[in-house]
Structure 1
């Protein structure tokens, strides 16, 4: 079992284990060349990073959609389940877009990242005929802001 030291922009050098590295045969849409990504857990939070092994400047912030949207559900198409060789283990994460104002941050529920931790393969799957879209509010409970002026 070899550990790998990867360069990241956010955390400098990071040591990752083989179990953390997922193979994306088609990359991530828009980043087709990125086929090997490390899943890095952020301690004591519902967030992960998907960090490119080759490109230190490329990482995606992921969240557990079931924490933010407990009713989130979708059916994984058979061909996708077959391609990922999904058995009993499957991990679903969604890409989060952080905004400077946290309440404007969004989570992409339309195209979840589906991971098979047994085979260390993953894929971003676009759900067709789905009620979800790419920019759901990360924080559903918006705090009421009183006396806000339009200035």
Structure 2
């Protein structure tokens, strides 16, 4: 399957690599199919790219590698929607806001992306937790 991307031009992807967001992402509810693409030169950053609209793409990373003391509980709506039965079935990513210089970049800890690694369903879950913000500074050394 060929898709146009924001950062990688037109590429060929395996349809089995698509992630399905049944309710879209807040602000992008009509975008339900995405793919995770690597960023050349980075082991920790990826692009969450819409397969339908090339301009809809987000830089994402594992929040646990960038921020210390990040914990939360999955809500029942997310567990049900994604059909999660075991903690090992999920992957958590956060959307980054990239700044120059890099150390001013932030990560959205208030609304993590939850991925079911087996059935390829995903959701952005809103936490409403005062410990976290949508522009949480990255811990020192978390580039």
Structure 2 residue aligned with 1:20, among 14, 17, 21? 17
Give the TM-score, by structure 2 length.
0.89
* Structure 2 partner of 1:109: 109
* Structure 1 partner of 2:69: 71
Q: Is the 8 A contact 2:110 2:129 kept in 1?
A: no
Structure 2 stretches lacking a partner, 5+ long: none
Give the TM-score, by structure 1 length.
0.84
* Structure 2 partner of 1:9: 6
* Structure 2 partner of 1:51: 49
**Aligned mates of 1:116, 1:17 — CA distance in 2:** 18
Q: CA RMSD in A?
A: 1.6
* Structure 2 partner of 1:141: 140
Give the C-alpha shift of residue 70 in structure 1: 3.5
* Structure 2 partner of 1:118: 118
Which protein is bigger by CA-based radius of gyration?
A: 1
Q: Deviations along 1:8-43, whole A, 9 cap, x unmatched? A: 131111222233211111111111111111112336
Deviation larger for 66-75 or 34-43 = 34-43
Give the C-alpha shift of residue 130 in structure 1: 4.4
Q: Is the 8 A contact 1:20 1:40 kept in 2?
A: no
Structure 1 stretches lacking a partner, 5+ long: 143-151
Higher relative contact order (CA 8 A, sep 6+): 2
**Aligned mates of 2:77, 2:23 — CA distance in 1:** 15
* Structure 2 partner of 1:62: 60
**Aligned mates of 2:96, 2:129 — CA distance in 1:** 21
Q: Deviations along 1:90-115, whole A, 9 cap, x unmatched? A: 00000000012212110000100000
Q: Secondary structure at the match of 2:3?
A: strand
Aligned residues: 138
